[in-house]
Every structure is written in C-alpha cells, then in structure tokens.
Structure 1
Amino acid sequence: MQNDKSKFKDEFKRRIYRFALEIIKFIDELLKEKTSETIGKQLLRSAISIGANVAEANAASSKKDYTNFFNYALKSANETKFWLGLLRDSGKADKTMANNLLKETTEIANILASSILTLKGKR
C-alpha cells in the first residue's frame, strides 16, 4: 500500500505527463505561420523539459542532484509560461486554451517551488 507522499509523487508525474500531451495538442492547433511555428518549437522544448527533469530527478544520485533537477524543471515551467503568454497575447493561439495551460503551468511551477523549499529545508 502506498503512503500519501508516494501517491502524490505518482499523481504529480502523471499530471506533468498529461500536461505535456496537452501542450502537443495545443501546438498542433497553432496557425501554420513562421512565427507560430518558431514559438511553438520553443514552447514544446520548455514544456516537455519539465517532465523530463522530474523523471531525471527520480534517478538522482543524491538529494542535491534531485533538488537540482527540480530547479531545472521549475525554470522550464517559467519559460513555458512566457511562451504561452506570448502566443496568447499575440493572437496566434486560442486564448481559452492558452489560459488553461497557463493555469496548469502555474500550478505545476508552484508545486515544484514548494518541493524545492522543502528539499532545502526552508519549509
């Protein structure tokens, strides 16, 4: 039987994976213009990097290494928010979808930031 902490970690990993799938759908629906494609590529890189870094953290060799991967994931989440906002505000993406993804990105970033503080013993 899993404890609450283990269940939360598993659900967080699933949540990040589902988020990456939603980002892929979002990018596939962008207008087929040079700027949309360029920004979409940047968004894809930063968004999937969140999940990749969380996955790498699970194979970390130390607490410091684990924390560093969470820091990288948080930086990627912040970058993702930038690209989503840019696409939304430039009118190149559906505003409702972009806002929903921004909300999810913010929640993921908050979880990562909180986890980092806990790992560093500041919470």
Structure 2
Amino acid sequence: MIEKPYDIKHRCYQFSKEIIGFISTTNYDRIYFSIFDQLLRSATSIGANVVEGKSGSSVKDFKNYYTIALKSANETKYWLCLVRDTISVEKDKIKDLIKEADEISKIIASIVINLQK
C-alpha cells in the first residue's frame, strides 16, 4: 500500500497524478470523452483550489477556495461513479480512486467546518 502524504496539498497533487494516469491508460469510445474531460477538470481542480486557498490573503479567501475544492472533490466522486457504472474499466483501480476522492472530500469538509467555528 502506498503511503499517502500528510499534507492535503500534496495528497491532492498525488490524486491528480493518479487520475491523469488512469485516464491516459483507459480505452474508451468517443461518446465518453466529455465524461473523462469533466473528471480530469474536477479532479485537478481540487488541488489547484487548495493551493490557491493556502496563498489567500484572508481567512475568508482561504475558506472560499476550500469550499470550491470540496465541491470539486464531490463532483469528482460523481464522475468516477459514472465511469464505474457505464464503462468497462479496472474495478479495483476505480474503487481506489473513489475511496481516495471520498477521503480527500472528508478532510476538506472537516477543514471548512472547523473554519466556521
């Protein structure tokens, strides 16, 4: 089992790399192009917004970027489930990606909730 980075920024970056690798090795018909395009966009958006939030100028900025990252993580889970249920893909790999997206989503949600206290 690969050890996951502790820092959420690095974990999101690793997840983006895993998604890119998954998409690049998956054979799919043209009809599914937009699903994989949306998956790529939402998955890479998670880390981009976390990085942007960490460099924000205020707590409000930080919270707003993390909220967007959370939305992207939830959207990513949606696209991964759609891929799992409509396209012939390696089931173990997609299961691992969904699990990681869910864990990242929970971490970010926890951060956003703690900022509201």
Taking structure 2 as the reference length, the TM-score comes to 0.91
Look up the match of 2:55: 59
1:30–1:36: 8 Å Cα contact kept in structure 2? no
Q: Which runs of 5+ in 2 are unaligned?
A: none
RMSD: 1.4
Give the aligned residue type for 1:46. S
SS across alignment from 1:32: coil
Q: Which runs of 5+ in 1 are unaligned?
A: 1-6
Look up the match of 2:39: 43
State which of 74, 98, 105 in structure 1 corresponds to 2:70: 74
State which of 8, 18, 22 in structure 2 corresponds to 1:22: 18
Look up the match of 2:115: 119
- The separation in 2 between residues aligned to 1:77 and 1:92, in whole angstroms, is 23
Aligned length, in residue pairs: 113
| Residues 87-111 of structure 1: CA deviation (Å, up to 9, x unaligned) | 0011332221111000000000000
SS across alignment from 1:105: helix
- Rg larger for: 1
- The separation in 2 between residues aligned to 1:70 and 1:15, in whole angstroms, is 14
What is the percent sequence identity of the aligned residues?
Answer: 46
Following TM superposition, the consecutive aligned residue runs of length 4 or more in structure 1 with deviations greater than 6 angstroms are: none
Q: CA deviation at 1:36?
A: 2.7
- The separation in 2 between residues aligned to 1:38 and 1:88, in whole angstroms, is 15
Q: Which has the higher contact order (CA 8 A, sep 6+)?
A: 2
Taking structure 1 as the reference length, the TM-score comes to 0.87
